Amino acid sequence: MNPEIDYREGLEELASHYESILKLLGEDSTREGLLKTPMRVAKAMQVLTRGYAMDAHKVLTDALFKEDYSHMVIVKDIDFFSLCEHHMLPFYGKVHVAYIPNGYITGLSKIARVVDIFSHRLQVQERMTLQIRECIQDTLKPLGVMVVVEAKHMCMQMRGVEKQNSITTTSEFSGAFNQAKTRQEFMNLLRTESKKI
């Protein structure tokens, strides 16, 4: 799906709902600056939730390669943007993924695509972290997977407690990463690699 061209079914209906929302907020939806806003927002929302129309497992299996490598593979600092399902406000940050292959590897960019797919849905950070880990574990069947997500939440920055600098960190791990030593190696490599590049 090309997010700039291929919009999903229901776009017109979605736009009409946004027009109603503008009116309920006290705006004049017929004024010049807002005439095209309902359709713009409808298109934006379809782009921001395009992950519903994508299969993360297929992304990984489309680039699956037999390889005799059994050490940690890390893809770090994967930028992501998502929408909190509670207030539909953005949360954004970095995802770090490590896995230990068990006979098969996947294209490195595919790990980032998996993050992209799950982040482009209405989410909570905890579930997104779990979904990324489960997808990689279930599809590649590696010796272990670990996912760490660091994010800022606009629902905490713009409303409610209005705390601008808080960062939420979540993690999920399986297999070899159940050992504290392996988790610590991953965390050490994250810090070390950041200094090198």
Please name the residue that has the structure tokens 């980032």. Answer: 112
- The one catalytic residue in 87, 134, 157, 185 is 87
87 is catalytic: yes
125 is catalytic: yes
Report how far residue 162's alpha carbon sits from residue 159's, in angstroms, rounded to the nearest whole number. 5
Note down pLDDT in tens along the chain; length 197 residues. Answer: 454 568 999 999 999 999 999 999 999 999 999 999 999 999 999 999 999 999 999 999 999 999 999 999 999 999 999 999 999 999 999 999 999 999 999 999 999 999 999 999 999 999 999 999 999 999 999 999 999 999 999 888 887 777 777 899 999 999 999 999 999 999 998 887 555 54
Report how far residue 149's alpha carbon sits from residue 135's, in angstroms, rounded to the nearest whole number. 15
How crowded is residue 196: how many other Cβ atoms within 10 Å of its Cβ? 5
Whether 2 and 47 have beta carbons less than 8 Å apart is answered as: no
- The one catalytic residue in 12, 17, 67, 85 is 85
Whether 103 and 69 have beta carbons less than 8 Å apart is answered as: no
Strand partners, 169: 150
Report how far residue 182's alpha carbon sits from residue 185's, in angstroms, rounded to the nearest whole number. 5
Kindly give the residue spans of alpha helices, DSSP state H, lying in the chain: 11-24, 37-48, 56-61, 108-119, 125-140, 154-157, 180-196
135 is catalytic: no
pTM for this one? 0.91
- The one catalytic residue in 12, 17, 67, 86 is 86
pLDDT digits (tens, 9 = 90+) for 48-57: 999 999 999 9
86 is catalytic: yes
Tell which residue, 171, 172, 177, 170, has the closest CA to residue 100: 177
Report how far residue 195's alpha carbon sits from residue 197's, in angstroms, rounded to the nearest whole number. 6
Beta-carbon contacts of residue 31 (< 8 Å; ≥ 6 apart): none
Tell which residue, 79, 59, 103, has the closest CA to residue 151: 79
Report how far residue 108's alpha carbon sits from residue 112's, in angstroms, rounded to the nearest whole number. 7
Please name the residue that has the structure tokens 């590649």. Answer: 140
pLDDT digits (tens, 9 = 90+) for 10-46: 999 999 999 999 999 999 999 999 999 999 999 999 9
Whether 54 and 117 have beta carbons less than 8 Å apart is answered as: yes
120 is catalytic: no
pLDDT at 197: 40
- The one catalytic residue in 19, 46, 120, 125 is 125
